[in-house]
Every structure is written in structure tokens, then in C-alpha cells.
């Protein structure tokens, strides 16, 4: 694998996203998340997975530069649905997956982290769904998962403003379980994972299966609608402006077209 490395320690696979400079989720990286799950699913030496990012960030989201190669709404809907499928597999994965978030988990990066079973964060990390700043909407399940963690009103504020919240605030809002200093984050995440790895894999799988009942059927209707809207929104002039503005490092001017 090119962008995802892992080592196994006392039943814990420590998986590191390594795609500098921002660990942006290219199509290739999303495929590798799926490959990681293939590799560890039937490996009895792995009982828990810790997912974290190398470098400055956990992940700054979908690779915005790759968006310029996408030309049709249908292709964008497919991109969204593919990401949703991998993240859904992660959420249902029979072994616990814990995200350790430092730096930033934005857009698809937060959507990836929200698909893990729980999250530890560094106090100063930035967590947000800033897609509206690009003239887009979240497309990897974020519109459905964020309100389930923080409530509808906070999710609305986060999406409408594109403003991230800090790791400390994320704990307050129920999006993350605990916040640590940058130095303590990974050791604490791994220590918890090692404790969980001592539990019976049978019971862990059953607990994960039961957690799925916390989702309602409307979740699936919601993500289907999200993928459609993601493709439609992508075809707007504002999406092109938002993506271009990011690449040119300037503020976007949205016209409503």
C-alpha cells in the first residue's frame, strides 16, 4: 500500500495515514482503507484498529485537487457513494476501530473519523465539515453522522459556517470521547485499544452489531439523497469557483449559479 501503513502491537493494528502534505483522501487512499479492512478482518492477531495520521493532520478531507478531474454530476455521485460504502463498512467492521485525531479532521477526514467506533482527539485539533466553503456539501455520510453526534442545530451551525470546532469542544459536544495533549494522544489511544483487545472478539463483534441498531432506516435514505445532491451540487458554477479559489489560495465569490 502506498498511503496507509500499519504495525501490530499486542492485538492492536496501528494504521497510519501517510499522504503528505494533508493526508487528503484521494480515491487511492479510500481504496487502501478498504484494503486495510480486507487485510485485518480475518487476521486473528488483530483485535482492534487505531487509525491516525502522520504529519500535521489526521486528514484535511477529500482531495480537492482531484475534484478538478471530475466532469459530471453522475461521476461525483459515484465518488460520494464509493466513499460512503467504505466508511459504512468501517462503521460495521467486526473489530473496534478508534480514531486518534490531531491537527485537523476536516470534510472527508472528519467523515472517516465519524465512521470509526469512537474518537480521541488532541485538544487543539480542528474538526469540521467545511464543504460549503467550496460550494459543495459533505458527501461521505457526514450530513447524516454529524447530527447524530452533536445534534441537528450544532451540525447545522458547523456546516453553514464551515467553522471547525476544537478537540476540547468536540468532547463537550459528544463528537469525541476524550482530549489529550498532542504528545499524549497516540499513547493514550493505543493504551485504550490494548485494553479493549483483551476483550472477547465474539463480544466485541456482537456489541458492534448491536450499535448498528442506533441508526434508523432514515440514515440510509439520507446517505442516498446525500450522494445524489453531492453530484448535483458539484455541477454548479459555485462548486467550480470554490474549488478553484482553494487551489488559487483566495476567498471564493459565490453567485448562486
Ligand X SMILES: C/C=C/C(=O)SCCNC(=O)CCNC(=O)[C@H](O)C(C)(C)COP(=O)(O)OP(=O)(O)OC[C@H]1O[C@@H](n2cnc3c(N)ncnc32)[C@H](O)[C@@H]1OP(=O)(O)O
Annotated active-site positions, please?
111, 131
Q: Among all chains, which residue has been given the C-alpha cell 488559487? A: 248
Q: In this chain, which stretch among 104-112, 145-153, 186-194, 199-207 interacts with ligand X, using CB under 6 A?
A: 104-112
| Subset of residues 48 to 77 that bind ligand X, contact rule: CB under 6 A | 57, 60-65
Pair 227, 85: CB distance under 8 Å: no
# residues contacting ligand X (CB under 6 A): 23
* 140 binds ligand X, rule: CB under 6 A: yes
Residue placing its CB nearer to ligand X in the complex, 100 or 252: 252
Minimum gap (Å) between residue 230 Cβ and ligand X: 7
* 227 binds ligand X, rule: CB under 6 A: no
Minimum gap (Å) between residue 129 Cβ and ligand X: 8
Which residue from 53, 107, 167, 231 is in contact with ligand X, where contact means CB under 6 A?
107
Residue ranges of E strands in the chain: 4-9, 12-17, 48-53, 97-101, 104-106, 118-122, 126-128, 165-166, 178-180
* 139 binds ligand X, rule: CB under 6 A: yes
Q: Which three three-digit cell numbers place residue 84?
A: 460512503
Strands 178-180 and 48-53: unpaired
Minimum gap (Å) between residue 175 Cβ and ligand X: 16
* 172 binds ligand X, rule: CB under 6 A: no
Q: Which three three-digit cell numbers place residue 20?
A: 503528505
Pair 23, 54: CB distance under 8 Å: yes
Q: Which residue is nearest to ligand X (CB)?
A: 107
Please tell me the distance from the alpha carbon of residue 80 to that of residue 186, in angstroms, as a whole number.
30
* 86 binds ligand X, rule: CB under 6 A: no
Which residue from 24, 51, 158, 179 is in contact with ligand X, where contact means CB under 6 A?
24
Please tell me the distance from the alpha carbon of residue 234 to that of residue 257, in angstroms, as a whole number.
11
Please tell me the distance from the alpha carbon of residue 184 to that of residue 125, in angstroms, as a whole number.
13
Binding site for ligand X (CB under 6 A): 21-22, 24, 57, 60-65, 80, 83, 104, 106-108, 130-131, 134, 136, 138-140
Amino acid at each position: 500500500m502506498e498511503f496507509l501503513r500499519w504495525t501490530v502491537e499486542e492485538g492492536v493494528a496501528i494504521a497510519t495515514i501517510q499522504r503528505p502534505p494533508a493526508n487528503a483522501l484521494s480515491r487511492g487512499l479510500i481504496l487502501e482503507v478498504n484494503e486495510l479492512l480486507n487485510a485485518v478482518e480475518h487476521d486473528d492477531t488483530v483485535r482492534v484498529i487505531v487509525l491516525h495520521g502522520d504529519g500535521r493532520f489526521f486528514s484535511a478531507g477529500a482531495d480537492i485537487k482531484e475534484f478538478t478531474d471530475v466532469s459530471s454530476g453522475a461521476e461525483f455521485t459515484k465518488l460520494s457513494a464509493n466513499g460512503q460504502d467504505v466508511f459504512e463498512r468501517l462503521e460495521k467492521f467486526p473489530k473496534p476501530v478508534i480514531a486518534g485525531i490531531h491537527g485537523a479532521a476536516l470534510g472527508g477526514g472528519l467523515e472517516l473519523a465519524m465512521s470509526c467506533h469512537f474518537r480521541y482527539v488532541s485538544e487543539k485539533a480542528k474538526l469540521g465539515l467545511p464543504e460549503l466553503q467550496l460550494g459543495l456539501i459533505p458527501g461521505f455520510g457526514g450530513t447524516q453522522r454529524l447530527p447524530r453526534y452533536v445534534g441537528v442545530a450544532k451540525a447545522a451551525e458547523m456546516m453553514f459556517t464551515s467553522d471547525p470546532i476544537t478537540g476540547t469542544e468536540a468532547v463537550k459536544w459528544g463528537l469525541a470521547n476524550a482530549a489529550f495533549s498532542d504528545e499524549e494522544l497516540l499513547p493514550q489511544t493505543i493504551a485504550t485499544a490494548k485494553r479493549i483487545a483483551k476483550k472477547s472478539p465474539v463480544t466485541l463483534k456482537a456489541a458492534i452489531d448491536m450499535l448498528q441498531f442506533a441508526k434508523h432506516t432514515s440514515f440510509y435514505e439520507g446517505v442516498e439523497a446525500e450522494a445524489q445532491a453531492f453530484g448535483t451540487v458539484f455541477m454548479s458554477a459555485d462548486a467550480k469557483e470554490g474549488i478553484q479559489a482553494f487551489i488559487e489560495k483566495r476567498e471564493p465569490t459565490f453567485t448562486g449559479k
